[in-house]
Structure 1
Amino acid sequence: MAENLIQRLEVAVSRLESFSRSSQPQAAALDAASASSEPSIVAFDDLITEYVDKVSSAAEKIGGQVNDITKVLREAFSAQKALLAKIKQTQKPDAGGMAEFLRPVNEKLTEATKMTEGRRSDFFNHLRSVAESLSALAWIAYAGKNCGMSMPIAHVEECWQSAEFYNNKVLVEFKNKDSSHVEWAKALKELYVPGLRDYVKNHYPLGPVWSTTGVTVSAPSNASKPGAPAAPNPPPASLASSASSSSSSSSRPTQGMSAVFQEISSKPVTAGLKKVTDDMKTKNRTDRAGFVSTGEKEARKSVPSAAKVGPPKFELVMGRKWVVENQIGVKDLLIDDCDPRQTVYIFACKDSVLQIKGKVNNITVDKCTKMGVDVVAAFEIVNCSGVEVQCQGAAPTISIDNTAGCTLYLSKDSIESSITTSKASEVNVMVPANDPDADLAEHAMPYQYIHTYQDGHFVTTPVAHSGG
């Protein structure tokens, strides 16, 4: 009787186990289906239909790089939709698990950022607008007050403010040239403010709600195995909390350094060192001079490294764009055959002076050092050091970005110019005085600011700088 009873119990248990295994895929499919019908997921679908489609439609009219990076934008939002559905079935991950969970969105952010690198394209501001704005999707990583990032709504707004600097440049540049670009820039802004901001406000004001009984996500297992290939870098601070990234990074090098010290201690201190003979000592070497003349020093300073400097260029490309590149120590560069439809791009020039006689559409000075430019048009200065620009005529807009040391000489015609600065220091503007015989008046543009919290928001005031 006992043996029969045991056999019957074993048969019953095996049937229950097989039934449980067969029902798990169905349960998972039901969970996925129910997650996709959640109000928050349906609302995100509406966000994509209403706003992302609008940006894509405008990008298709423009084509080229703008359309390419807009496709990356769409893929990033689609990846976030998949993550929102996955959250309903996933337990809250740790720091390493959060980086792995966010990988699909982080890959799109990395892809967009790579499109902005290299030589500056004509649509750089479009590309940078998207790359900067995609960091807003990191609101999904918010894990509480001590996670190292702002609350979801504030995070979306802050990221868009960073992207809006470049988006506004698109609006200004194409305001009277091409309505498709203006439509694209406005649609991009609406996608984040109010689009994504209002979505987060209505559905996830305190961050995502993770499952308590779902699956777990952890970092790749090969990261902890000695000798295994290194795991990919964690997402940037915008896609994971700074606290989690610091804790995960501090735990990795410990084993490596221990191995290094262990290897050092296992060998003699002088192992591998070569003996220095008398003829190798500096005081006994005959192939070295004891001094360097002033002429040699000046020659070393003035002659650039051939390995770092590309070939100089000074040419008109396709009848539309003047390219001035890698001009070193040339003081008499001149462009006198100008057309209002042309642009001028000045790149990697040093200790040179360029005079532009006539009006062009736009001038960009990029990665130049100690460069002087004489212009009669709107212009932009980026990644430069020690640049002087003299405006002979009206210049409606002047933009200075990531530049240290810039002096602007404005004429009476350009005194009403709009000057925009970002990450710029030591910017001085010289303006003509009322007395034509008087010297130019120098004004230092502020690059230090004081932020005070008043009446529920921060008030920013510049620190005054005195002119010389």
Structure 2
Amino acid sequence: MGEALIGRLEAAVSRLEALSAGAHPSISPRGLSDNASAQDPAILAFDDLVVSALGRVSAAAGKIGAEVAEVTRLLEKAFLVGKELLVRTKQTQKPTMESIATFMGPLNEVILEANALAEGTRSSHANHLKAAAGSLAALAWIGYTGKGCGMPLPMAHVEESWQMAEFYSNKVLVEYKNKDPDHVEWAKALKELYVLNLHDYIKRFYPLGPVWQPPGSATNKAPSAPSPPASLAISSASSSQPKSGMSAVFAEISSGKPVTQDLRKVTDDMKSKHRTDKTGVVTADVKETRNAPSFGSTKGPAKLELQMGRKWVVEHHIGNKSLIIEDCDTKQSVYAYGCKDCVLQVKGKVNNITIDKCTKVGVLFKGVVAACEIVNCNSVEVQCEGSVPTISIDNTSGCQLYLSEESLEASITTAKSSEINALVPDANSEGDWAEHSLPQQYIHAFKEGQFTTSPVSHSGA
């Protein structure tokens, strides 16, 4: 059985290599020795990942058949193109913001093909298709060129991309839990492909991104940037800010409409730090003077935008009490980073919310599908008006949680945090809140052959 499976996988890889070479002759690196790439430990490890982890997904898909096998073949094709791009990075100078679209073009085509398959059919396997297609955005880490490229570090990017696909993967697990083990195996294998195998691979070989040729090397120069195809064309006149990095490359992957319809930016009426009112409403006749301070921080430009159709990014705002995210859905996540003295409202249910390195920030949201995470923060207030399965608080000093009736069953996890208070509706007084302090000190005692842990209780004087 094992030899037969390996034989099938080798045949599939050979078939995809031939297909990829015919469809994208430009992705083969010019001047690269096949022997050199064959001996590269990173490339050999990637081959092992494809055979073992991706092979497990393919084996389960082969048993299911139908559209699941078809979208899994696109998954194999995408990883094959990803391998070719990894080989090419070591023979290519780092692309510019303008030429990165050309470099990542072959992978982008496969992702668009998978999205077309997932969106263009009403199948009983729709959740399988959307999970697989959504997961392919994780491979965009290969195009990471540095801090200014518009995406997080590769490991973080893979984790965030999988969170988008996990929504549909979980639906597969729930639907087939007691029906068909092949579907359950496929969903579990898909998750482990990214969360365990690809994540560990990047951690081992590319924690800071791909290795590019240094400038001035006598190897291939970065690809030039010809006019992009119609599917990737972005009108510069339709946006007040130039698109950069992976935001420009993969912005349309998950949506069939122009990118400017999805992006949210900081408008002019949001750039007045010292306004006289306290409600967050700016009158129409208020004009920003040339010397008026903006909400941005010195560490980076202020952002409030939707990236890749999946992730709302709120970064580096200072003193802005009227940050609002509308037109959001359960496929999207929200990531707030580096904000201070701000208020953010999420007027819709999203997949997950992460608040990172924020100080004196208030967040109000309707609800989340997965979790609300609060990391490295100081003096934050978070209020949920709907349901939230999990709340995670890590390395945070000072957090006020306001939970609605629907969110009282939420699981709250804390680590290395202090001054955490949860406020719930008071059963004895309508409209009031009952405050509960979450313990931050514990007693560990060895009893009956094992340690038991209990929170410290303080008695009054």
Q: TM-score range by the shorter chain?
A: 0.3 to 0.5
Q: Rg larger in 1 or in 2?
A: 1
Query: TM-score when scaled to structure 2?
Result: 0.47
Query: TM-score when scaled to structure 1?
Result: 0.47
